[in-house]
Amino acid sequence: MQINHQLTASDLRVDTQHVLELAAQKAEVIDRTWDASKGTPVFTVDGSYATRGWTEWTQGFQYGCMILAGDGLGDDKLIGLGKRRTIDNMLPHVTHVGVHDHGFNNLSTYGNLLRLLKETRIVADEWEEMTYSNAIAASGAIQGSRWSGTPPVKSKHSANASALGYIYSFNGPHSLFIDTMRTTRILGVAWQLGHKLMHEGDREANLLKRSVLHGLTTSQCIVFHGDSEHTYDVRGRTAHEGTFNRIDGAFRSRATQQGYSPFSTWTRGLSWAMLGFAEELEFFETIPASDFQSACGIAKSDVMKVYERNAVETCDHYIHDVSTLDGITYWDDGAPGLSRMGDWRGREAEPYNDFEPVDASASAIAAQGLIRLGNYLGNTDRGRNYYQAGLTVAKTLFAEPYLSTKQNHQGLLLHSIYHWPNHWDHVPEGSKVSHSESSMWGDYHLLELALMVRRISDGSPYLRFFL
């Protein structure tokens, strides 16, 4: 990846304005034309949103796009539309006991609305604030209830914690997904709101602790650190899934649902880890060490070291190993067709190639992770390098051929991939791989990236998920 070290957030002001305006237009079109009886819009087919049954994890992104675009444009009407859709339709997601996606659906909606209230961006109302707070608290507890314990591993990668465990995926109690590194943040907000998960016998489970232990288990089991004898132990690589023995809880193996193999890098999974660890660092930094120790039973400094190591390693892997010259990535760095493309890392991404699809949604998520890690590390050589890398990726994504500028295309970010192994992604006639399609998560994260960059350029409040 060739990093532009002269680029500033202010240089992207026109680009972010364009993204926000397009997002507002497309969000209103989708709201007006979508047939709710079909379920939730997931990805586009020939430019029109369609659904795909697996789990309902994208409705929060649909309404979240309205809220974020309204926020960035100062459009109270659009924020109001997102608010109404949230109140009318999102409660089942708050109480959904079968998914690991609470941070996606409910922080994108209730979380953004609570943030706008706290920022006094929208008029404060006691009952409205209580509604959002209670929804987030309940959602965090329900996500936290999807808990599987696993024996501790004395290791620097788990902060030598005396207990480990994870929020299990929709595959069941044996399954840890890398995606969940960005959804467990809702447990932290629920904890900030003073909520706790209650079990039989009135036993309390601390939600911050479960979030922290999940991250430590992710670090120990499905992030590679380049320090073992494992053949495919490339520093910063992530596996999509870890599987555990449900008799004794022990870690057994790595697997994948949407990547090429357990030992290659499914790049959207990598990006979830990059952003998840970086955001949590920003959050943990605001918690007094004594409160953190009391909640988690682990020294805050020890946990921060692990999370920082994971953020740095995954971001380095993105920059040096899986991205192209312009900072965009293909869907998996081990995808077999890449071997037919020569030095694909040494030139700009080619979304219209005949061998393997680009996944711009992974790059949109990764760009935010890079910027956040850079901000966390501050005005140091490392911090500036990650920050500039994030802006470089953002600049690429904020323009064609990644930005969807045509009015007859409902998506915002083009060249997004959902599940290439299952061949769910639409392949246009005459093409050999999927391209020119969008996804709800890709659109949302491009818009979130644009709003964050806009706020940095304006000196506005820094965009964050926590209170």
Q: What domains are defined for the chain? A: 10-458 (1.50.10.10)
* β pairing state of 251-255 and 241-244: antiparallel
Q: Which residues, in sequence order, are CB contacts of 70 under 8 Å at separation 6+? A: 24, 76, 77, 78, 79, 80, 81, 82
How high does pLDDT run on average in the chain?
Answer: 97
- CB contact at 8 A, 82 and 67: yes
Q: Where are the alpha helices (DSSP H) in 193-299?
A: 207-221, 267-285, 289-296
One-letter identity of residue 431: S
What average pLDDT does the segment 216-224 reach? 98
Give the rounded percent of residues in the chain with a pLDDT score beyond 70: 100
- CB contact at 8 A, 68 and 22: no
What are the respective helix, strand and coil percentages of the chain, to the nearest 5?
A: 50, 10, 40
Rounded Cα distance, 168 and 50, in Å: 28
Rg (CA), the chain: 21
One-letter identity of residue 18: H
Q: 390 to each of 367, 383, 453, 465, how far by Cα in Å?
A: 4, 11, 10, 19
The per-residue pLDDT for 165 is 98
HSE-up (13 A, CA, CB side) for residue 435: 18
Crossing angle of helices 207-221/185-192, nearest 10°? 160
Q: How confident is the model at residue 55 (pLDDT cuts 50, 70, 90)?
A: confident
| Whether the predicted pLDDT of 53 surpasses 80 | no
For residue range 90-133, list pLDDT tens digits in order. Answer: 999 999 999 999 999 999 999 999 999 999 999 888 999 999 99
| Whether the predicted pLDDT of 353 surpasses 90 | yes
Angle at 240 between CA 235 and CA 246, to 5 degrees: 110
| Whether the predicted pLDDT of 460 surpasses 80 | yes
- CB contact at 8 A, 318 and 371: no
Rounded Cα distance, 370 and 387, in Å: 6
45-59, 375-389, 416-430: least confident range: 45-59
The encoded tokens of residue 412 equal 């915002």
- CB contact at 8 A, 424 and 418: yes
Angle at 68 between CA 83 and CA 273, to 5 degrees: 115
Rounded Cα distance, 341 and 148, in Å: 42
For residue range 357-384, list pLDDT tens digits in order. Answer: 999 999 999 999 999 999 999 999 999 9
Closest CA to 327 of 279, 396, 250, 373: 396
| Whether the predicted pLDDT of 217 surpasses 90 | yes
Q: Can you give the pTM of this predicted structure?
A: 0.98
The encoded tokens of residue 310 equal 């994971």
The per-residue pLDDT for 443 is 98
The per-residue pLDDT for 258 is 96
How is residue 462 annotated by DSSP?
P
Classify 265 as helix, strand or coil.
coil
Task: Identify the helix (H) or strand (E) that includes residue 205.
Answer: strand 204-205
For residue range 151-199, list pLDDT tens digits in order. Answer: 999 999 999 999 999 999 999 999 999 999 999 999 999 999 999 999 9
The per-residue pLDDT for 54 is 77
For residue 119, count other CB atoms closer than 10 A to its CB.
Answer: 12
What average pLDDT does the segment 228-241 reach? 96
| Whether the predicted pLDDT of 450 surpasses 90 | yes
The encoded tokens of residue 153 equal 């591993």
For residue range 423-448, list pLDDT tens digits in order. Answer: 999 999 999 999 999 999 999 999 99
Q: How confident is the model at residue 67 (pLDDT cuts 50, 70, 90)?
A: very high
